[in-house]
Amino acid sequence: MVPDTYSTDRLRAERMSESHLGELRMMHQDTRMMAMIGGVRDEAGTAAYLERHLVHWRQHGFGFWMLWDADTGTSVGLAGLRHLTLDGEDEVEVGYGLLPAFWGRGLATEIARECVHQAFGYLALPSLVALTNDANVASQHVLRKVGLTYEREVTHDGRRSILFRGTRPTGDQP
């Protein structure tokens, strides 16, 4: 099992819950944050997103965490792990998104590295994927920095994406 809460050097992570609806709404209405991940969502879209993530946590014992600046307590973004079906195969994806005010400081790399470690350590997954828009060079850079590599192009949820994959390093055991 992964922890409900944990900290990295600069971030505090909290298991996504009903109490985070306000922060999620704010993120989902941020055009820059959402540009590469499907565009802004309305209130119904955010409520449905939250419900999917709550169900995921209950079913699988892991999911997405909300992120806070460890020093100031300001809402920073979200990141985590989720199941998805790709070309008929069950996979686990690492995902992350930060509010624009927090870009360019290495924070996505910091939290993605922790999520990858949790996937290979706590969950002992043999492999992990990430989907990214072809134009999302910053995210591709993050994925490479945390050890994932380009695998192929895929269509998921009607969107053409680039699929990255990482495999569990020997030694990263639970």
Ligand X SMILES: CC(C)(COP(=O)(O)OP(=O)(O)OC[C@H]1O[C@@H](n2cnc3c(N)ncnc32)[C@H](O)[C@@H]1OP(=O)(O)O)[C@@H](O)C(=O)NCCC(=O)NCCS
Please name which of 126, 136, 37 lies closest in space to residue 79, comparing C-alpha atoms: 37
Site size toward ligand X, by CB under 6 A: 20
Shortest approach of ligand X to residue 6 CB, angstroms?
Answer: 18
Buried b (16+ CB within 10 A) or exposed e, 1-37: ebeeeeeeebbbbebbeeebeebbbebbebeebeebb
Q: Cα angle at 147 between 31 and 93, to 5 degrees? A: 55
Shortest approach of ligand X to residue 130 CB, angstroms?
Answer: 6
The answer to whether residue 147 forms part of the interface with ligand X (CB under 6 A) is no
Q: CA–CA separation, 69 vs 86, rounded Å?
A: 33
Half-sphere exposure (CA, 13 Å, Cβ side) for 128? Answer: 27
Looking at 13-21, 55-63, 104-112, 113-121, which segment touches ligand X (CB under 6 A)?
104-112
Binding mask 106-145 for ligand X (x = CB under 6 A): xxxx----------------------x---xxxx-xx---
Assigned token pair, 93:
């994806």
Assigned token pair, 105:
């400081």
Q: CA–CA separation, 146 vs 149, rounded Å?
A: 9
Shortest approach of ligand X to residue 44 CB, angstroms?
Answer: 21
Task: Find the helix or strand (DSSP H, E) in which 7 lies.
Answer: strand 5-7
Looking at 16-24, 103-111, 114-122, 166-174, which segment touches ligand X (CB under 6 A)?
103-111
Of 27, 50, 78, 98, the residue at the interface with ligand X (CB under 6 A) is 98
Q: Which is nearer to ligand X, 75 or 132 (CB)?
A: 132
Of 36, 54, 101, 123, the residue at the interface with ligand X (CB under 6 A) is 36
- Contact residues for ligand X, defined by CB under 6 A: 33, 36-37, 96-98, 103-109, 132, 136-139, 141-142
